[in-house]
Structure 1
Amino acid sequence: MTQSMIRVGVDIGGTFTDAALAHSGGLATSKVLTDYARPEQAILDGIEIAAAKAGVPLAEIGQVIHGTTLVTNALIERRGAKLAFITTQGFRDVIEMRSENRFEQYDLNLALPKPLVPRQDRFTLPERIGPSGEVLLPLEQAEVAAMVRQVLDGGYEAVAIGLIHAYANDAHERQMAEALRRAAPDLSISLSSVISPQMRELPRFNTVIANAYVQPQVADYLGRLVRRLGEAGVTAPVFMLHSGGGLISVETAAEQPVRLLESGPAGGAIFAADYARGHGLDSVLSFDMGGTTAKICLIEDGTPKTANTFEVARTYRFKKGSGMTVSTPVVEMVEIGAGGGSIASIDTLGRIQVGPRSAASEPGPACYGRGGNEPTVTDANLLLGRLDPENFAGGAIPLSVAASQTALTDTLAQKLGMSAPDAAFGVTEMVDENMANAARVHTVENGRDIEHFTMIGFGGGAPLHACRLCEKLGIRELIIPPGAGVGSAIGFLRAPFSYEATRGLFQRLDGFDAASVNLALAELEEEATAFVEQGAKGAETTTRLTAFMRYAGQGWEIPVVLPYKPFADGDRAAILTAFETAYRSLFGRVIEGLGIEITNWSLVVASRLPDTPEVCRHDTGAAVAALRTREFYDAALRQTVEAQEVDRASMTPGHAVDGPAIIVENETTTIVTSAYRCVGQGDGSLRLIRKGDQP
């Protein structure tokens, strides 16, 4: 076997680190507890276990693909570099003034996220670039020299430079950066014109600040990871999955770590999208539930929905507008604190609440026996019979029913005057309703009817909860792919090499200047192609062009996908039609008589992946033999039911089991409620169909 044929994807989650190794014999996977002190150690352990299962020497691995929450965690926990921010005179407080959006209008004590850079570390330059790139006030060399001295005297580890309208003309930002690099070659420097060359100073400033804040830490971690892999015998190149769902080199990731904000969850969306294409499903709800969080994403026409902005470090975890908005390409999803390790408690009104706090891997749920004593979703599922205490994670982690019973009784049941099983039901029903509500809101915000979607569930926790979510949401069909327990890691192996280049270029549509747009797009294509060729030199590529457009007077834009070709001034009508089609799909109508504006452009170059083969789908099948029967609590029936326990390996194509059933495998457990039937599919997936909807 050639070295390039063996690839491994590794995803670090809040509780588990997952590895998936693709080789000539198929796919080998592993799941180990995340090591918070040394995350690279869990990666090595996971790779070694997967390689041993596959019988593959570490030296034969040809490519390592990694996703991490390190950037997000560093921003949330404020563990970053000592940072200076340099901006235009008069704009020092933009990141503190924010957009004046009152996201919780009746809260008199509204809490906003504190800026990453304290006011005393924000410096200004007397310079000014106009919105069309014209120099209104030149940047004098004496001012540059004085700023260099101020930064050096402050002992800063990193510098973020964000000047007004630098997206239109980056000359002043580069002048400042070059002077700093001459004086301090080892200083980490981030430019807004490189990291986020788009209109709107608030997200652009936030993005360059976030990048600079985590850059030294991420560069150190990635360097340490590559070194440790080499010492273990893995000399293969390392690539990172960026938040937009593509692969970039580890060097690019170290320079632009803000692109890694949602790298792990993006892998899950890619995983689900691949199965959506194989099953010929146009409308899919991706449901990824791990140990710490649950993520929900819309996938239409085989492609995850994407966005160019993302909120991080929300002070109100589920409130849009309460976080720090950064402008970076991202797979758009809603994320809530609902995982297996999410901790249950009682609020001031005497109600059961779940999350957002998580027991994670340290100490973990009470049943892990690692020091945790608070009740979690995993403890509740164990007490309700949905997990086998002797066969969790393939038997690698024995679970203590007694510990779960004690945690639920002491914290919830005694205080609420109920039994421990009733408290456990309350915990699971609350977390399921939280996730169902998040899915409803997400689809409504995108103008979609959730009942017409098929759910694809993956992650260690999703197969336990997905069937109940479908009951709550009125969804008739659920797919649990093979390898669902490590879905994000597998998704890494199916991601293209891609790069999204962006540019702010404001124009009214009635004054559309094709020449200036074509010039900007040519530069974007050159930039994106250069990054893609770092990992896929000579590969066939695809190009996707998006214009961000709005009606004049509106405060935000919508993405409008356009064909990528040289534009002519006469293309205004086609662009107008594309905008109105996109606007109508979101809002149900268009607005007559208003001018239309284009603010930003985005161009994605990606390596072309092989077509996903069509899956042979089965609606019914022969009954499969059960390993045994055991009981679990069926939430819809409000009672304990006797269920067939089935080995996932026996669910071959055309074999079926009626719910209630429990389907077991090493990485996860699938619960089939009484209302559904499960049928094995041609690609190894489990297809759960609501019984009344079967032919």
Structure 2
Amino acid sequence: MNIVGVDIGGTFTDLVGCVDGRIVTSKTSTVPADPTRGVADSLTLADCDISSLAEVLHGSTIAINTVLERKGARTALITTRGFRDTYAIGRGNRIEAFNLFFHRPKPLIPRELTFEVAERINAKGAVLTPLDEAEVRGIIESLSALKVEAVAVCLLHAYASPEHERRIGAILRDALPDLFVTLSHEIIREYREYERTSTTALNAFVGPRVQTYLKRLEDFLHSETFAGKINIMRSNGGVMSIGLAQDQPVAMMESGPVAGMIGAGQLAARLGIERAIGFDMGGTTAKASLIIGGAPAIEEGYVIGGAASGQPMLLPVVDIVEVGAGGGSIAWCDADGGLHVGPESAGADPGPASYGNGSIDPVVTDADLVLGRLNAGRFLNGAMQLDRSAAGQALQAKVAGPLRLSIPESALGVVQIADAAMSLAVRAVSVNKGVDPRQAAIIAFGGAGPLHAVAIAREIFIPKVVVPKVPGTFSALGMLMASWRQDFVRTLYGPLGALDKAQVEAVFGELAEVGRDHLERDGVEQSIADFRFLADLRYIGQEHTIATPVDDAGQLSGDFAALRRLFDAAHDQRYGQAAPGERIEVVNIRLVVTAARADTLAERWLSEPWTPEPPVADEWRDVIFTDAARPARARIVWRPSLAVGAIVEGPAVIEEPNATTLLHPGDVATVSEAGHLMIDVAVEAAGQP
């Protein structure tokens, strides 16, 4: 079966495909005005016959960028009378207690577009006040007059009984068929009014823009006689149909980044690495995720735009820490002479100054080029020539001149600041979670990941770095390994072991039925699906929960000894202590439905024996590592020609078509039997010139 994965980032569009039993790749510039053109260009470069493809997998940053840039639809919110300000008030905590400029999350929907309707359902799902449909119809007139493009409907306790939301949705869709309508119970059926409202608002806010883009992508593929499936990467590490993605675009917020972490998990498992840190550095951002036992961690919630003032999203997502430090991150000086890198990026247009598109802002890629770490003639396999002179001029004008530094000194400063920022992301997913980085390995990918990974490993004493095959397009490869996955949740609150048996069984049955409906909707065979139930548990008096696997419904209403042992162990692992004598309560029941891919070519390819290309003569050039005045003479190696068992000692630069790996003095890289670079980092030499 021929399949391709296409990952659209802020700077580049990457493609990896399994076509006629072989792996094909391509990398091209993203077209911000029309990302579909980037997809078309990548398919052409990879010489893919679209009509012969059975499936296209796609990941994109369009949803999350719409939120971060606040360029979504004009959106209204309909909620229960008396709760108009729930979304604006949010939580009462102040995460950054000593930040004088701290501000609470700014709602995506203004108060003047928030409407109340008379109705009330209690937490048990009983109707206290019937829905006033006449009031709903009056709101419709206001929506039309205010030129609203999308509506989020989130009623109090709709997670317990969605009948009023369903009726409002039917009235809205009948009266305004072009309106993008999001009902909270269709996205998430879990308590926490603020987070549930925020998630619903996010879906409505990004809906029209994402839906338009996905329809354009669908139309393009069909115009090229494509007759297969189109699946979209979800934030939870699985895939969903393009139809569901158009209805629930909030589920694809981290669509692109998570695919690489899925691939990194598969690679870690095949290499026998128990604890790994996936590190993905692209053109706009750098991402890190902790991988244990071959699987990245999943969190039951996420904040888009920073924990302090971002937008909460109450959906499962691969636990990724992201920083605004990528190859295209702009270096700039503040009024006090402080040097900064990011978070603004030059993107694909105009891109770095060295691209020659007229940009005058220096970025990390420009600094790497000036330091001799990048080859101006081999960038993108020679398809794009870099202008070192333009990079130097940009650094001189914006950094070196204002700070009275030489151009090499300013370039080194830019790179070191970027590395420091990225090392904080790696610390956040390791040290901050109780994992000793000295007992882990970094799996580095992305166009710029291998170039900076060793410096980060040295910073926090990580002894090994793995650079997989095709690192520059590895996230697209990860899509080919992602299973179909859907997550469902129902709030069911009560003491563990004392819940009503009939009620528990009813919730389990309802979740299973919804799971089967989604399998049928996406055309997935039920025979290959795996249904896994979990319960959100906590000690009585706690606020947050831990999702714990449940073998059968009886564990929640009867003998729960085995479940208790699992929860105590999970609590001890996460927090360093457990309380076996404390009572436990159930908060939510979850169902995770997955369907493994029938084709495993991508996974098998990770372990296939490496066949090198014909030998290419080594080169040598000066590369600056830690002292701008003392460049080191470094060996320049062409990776595709390295044989199995080949050893490269630093200082060295290992180049390949879509990425570059930098070895510092003392580091040693060995080519594994499958062609991966296994780098032993000279951590004891870190910080030495």
TM-score class normalised by the smaller sequence: over 0.9
- The separation in 2 between residues aligned to 1:636 and 1:452, in whole angstroms, is 29
CA distance in 2 between counterparts of 1:398 and 1:642 reads 23
* 2:678 aligned residue: 687
Moved more, 591-600 or 57-66: 591-600
Q: CA deviation at 1:30?
A: 1.0
Gaps of 5+ in 1: 315-319, 619-623
Identity within the alignment, %: 37
Write the distance in 1 (CA, Å) between the matches of 2:669 and 2:425.
Answer: 26
Written as runs of structure 1 = structure 2, the 5 A alignment for 1:238-249 is: 238-249=230-241
**253-262 vs 188-197, greater mean Cα deviation:** 188-197
| Residues 242-277 of structure 1: CA deviation (Å, up to 9, x unaligned) | 111111110000011100100000111111011011
Match of 2:440 among 440, 453, 470: 453
Q: Which runs of 5 or more structure 2 residues have no equivalent in the other structure?
A: 610-614, 685-689
CA distance in 1: counterparts of 2:73 and 2:27, whole angstroms: 32
The answer as to whether partners of 1:539 and 1:608 remain within 8 angstroms in 2 is no
Question: Does the 8 Å contact 1:387/1:669 carry over to 2?
Answer: yes
Q: Would you say the 8 A contact 2:457–2:683 is kept in 1?
A: no
Name the counterpart of 2:659.
668
Q: How much has 1:542 moved relative to structure 2?
A: 2.5
Q: Amino acid of the residue matched to residue 234 of structure 1? A: F
Determine whether 1:278 maps to 2:270: yes
Post-superposition offset of 1:566: 5.6
Residues 625 and 401 from structure 1, CA distance in 2 versus in 1: closer, same or farther, beyond 3 angstroms? Answer: closer
Would the aligned equivalents of 2:504 and 2:557 in 1 still touch at CA under 8 Å?
no
Q: Would you say 1:160 and 2:160 are equivalent positions?
A: no
2:420 to 433, 443, 452: 433
Distance in 1 of aligned mates of 2:98 and 2:682: 45
Over 3 Å counting, the alpha-carbon distance change for 1:282 and 1:614 in structure 2 is farther
Moved more, 345-354 or 653-662: 345-354
* Greater shift in the superposed pair: 186-195 or 107-116: 107-116
- CA–CA distance in structure 2, aligned partners of residues 204 and 491 of structure 1: 30
How far apart, in 1, do the equivalents of 2:293 and 2:605 lie? 14
State whether structure 2 residue 632 is matched by structure 1 residue 641.
yes
Q: Which residue pairs with 1:40 in the alignment?
A: 36
Q: Provide closer, same or farther for how the CA distance between residues 625 and 46 of structure 1 changes in structure 2, counting only shifts above 3 A.
A: closer
- Give the 3-state SS of the residue equivalent to 2:535 in structure 1: strand
Aligned to 1:170: 162
For 1:444, the aligned partner's letter is V
How far the C-alpha of 1:144 sits from its partner, in A, is 3.6
> Quick one: which amino acid aligns to residue 664 of structure 1?
E
Among 484, 489, 494, which residue is 2:476 paired with?
489
1:193 to 173, 185, 195: 185
Name the CA distance, whole Å, in 2 between partners of 1:96 and 1:273: 39
Match for residue 576 of structure 1? 564
Task: Please say if 1:519 is aligned against 2:506.
Answer: yes
Alignment partners' CA distance in 2, 1:475 and 1:128: 55
Aligned to 1:346: 333
State the distance in 1 between where 2:243 and 2:346 align: 33
Distance in 2 separating the partners of 1:393 and 1:233: 30
Aligned to 1:536: 524
Change (3 A) 1:507 1:261: same
Match of 2:12 among 11, 16, 22: 16
Alignment of 1:258-657 (within 5 A): 258-314=250-306, 320-533=307-520, 534-538=522-526, 540-563=528-551, 567=555, 569-591=557-579, 594-609=582-597, 627-635=618-626, 639-657=630-648
Q: Which amino acid aligns with 2:217?
A: L
After superposition, give the CA deviation of every residue in 1:143-181 in whole Å (9 maximum; x if it has no partner): 344334443444322211101111111111112112222
Q: CA deviation at 1:411?
A: 1.2
- How much has 1:564 moved relative to structure 2? 5.7
CA separation in 1, counterparts of 2:627 and 2:409? Answer: 14
Tell me, in whole angstroms, the C-alpha distance in 1 between the residues paired with 2:214 and 2:463: 43
Alpha-carbon distance between aligned partners in 2 of 1:181 and 1:120, rounded to the nearest angstrom: 22
CA apart distance, 1:451: 1.4
How far apart, in 1, do the equivalents of 2:328 and 2:556 lie?
55
Offset of 1:639 from its aligned partner?
4.1
Provide the rounded CA distance (Å) in 2 between the counterparts of 1:532 and 1:127. Answer: 34
CA deviations on 1:621-670 (whole Å, 9 max, x unpaired) are xxx98522222122399942222211111233222211222111111111
Residues 499-518 of structure 1, C-alpha deviations (whole Å, 9 max, x = no match): 11122222222523343233
- C-alpha distance in 2 between matches for 1:136 and 1:98: 25
Shift of 1:313: 3.2
Sort the Cα spacing of 1:265 and 1:358 in 2 relative to 1 into closer, same or farther, 3 A.
Answer: same
Matched letter for residue 532 of structure 2: R
Q: Secondary structure at the match of 2:559?
A: helix
**Counterpart amino acid of 2:130?**
P
1:29-84 deviation digits (Å, cap 9, x = unpaired) = 1111111111111111111111x2xxx42211221111111111111222222222
Q: 1:542 & 1:208 partners in 2: Cα distance?
A: 28
In 2, are the aligned partners of 1:18 and 1:486 still within 8 Å (CA)? Answer: yes
Shift of 1:544: 3.1
Question: Is 82-91 or 436-445 further displaced after alignment?
Answer: 436-445
After TM superposition, the score normalised by the length of structure 2 is: 0.94
- 1:308–1:415 distance in 2 versus 1, CA, 3 Å: same
Q: 1:331-362 CA deviation, whole Å, 9 max, x = no partner?
A: 11100001000011123442321110111111
Please state if 1:117 is matched with 2:105. no
State the alpha-carbon separation in 2 of the partners of residues 259 and 299 from structure 1: 21
User: Is 1:206 paired with 2:216?
Assistant: no
Cα distance in 1 between the residues matched to 2:137 and 2:208: 24
Aligned-pair distance for 1:365?
A: 0.7
**CA offsets per residue over residues 427-476 of structure 1, 9 Å max, x none?**
11111111112211232332221211111000000010011111111111
Corresponding residue for 2:612?
none
Classify 1:90/1:340 alpha carbon distance in 2 versus 1 (closer, same or farther; 3 Å).
same
CA distance in 2: counterparts of 1:615 and 1:353, whole angstroms: 38
The residue type paired with residue 620 of structure 2 is T
Q: Which moved more, 1:101-110 or 1:204-213?
A: 101-110
- In structure 2, the residue corresponding to 1:634 is in which secondary structure? coil
Q: Per the alignment, do residues 536 and 638 of structure 1 end up closer, same or farther by CA in structure 2, a change over 3 Å counting?
A: farther
Q: Which amino acid aligns with 1:653?
A: V
**Given the superposition, is the C-alpha separation of residues 475 and 514 from structure 1 closer, same or farther in structure 2, using an over 3 Å criterion?**
farther
Q: 1:216 matched to which residue of 2?
A: 208
CA RMSD of aligned residues (A): 2.2
| CA displacement at 1:539 relative to structure 2 | 5.3
Aligned to 2:80: 88
Counterpart of 1:317?
A: none
* Residue-by-residue CA offset, 1:270-317 (whole Å, 9 max, x unaligned): 110110111111111000000000000011111111112111134xxx
**Please, which moves more after superposition, 408-417 or 662-671?**
408-417
Instruction: Supply the distance in 2 between the matched residues of 1:117 and 1:85 (Cα, whole angstroms).
Output: 7
Opposite residue 434 of structure 1, the aligned amino acid is A
Question: 1:617 Cα shift?
Answer: 12
Determine if contact 1:101/1:321 at 8 Å carries over to the other structure: no
> How far apart, CA to CA, are the structure 1 residues paired with 2:103 and 2:682?
48
Q: Which amino acid aligns with 1:448?
A: V
Q: CA deviation at 1:613?
A: 5.6
Cα distance, 1:362–1:568 mapped onto 2, change above 3 Å: closer
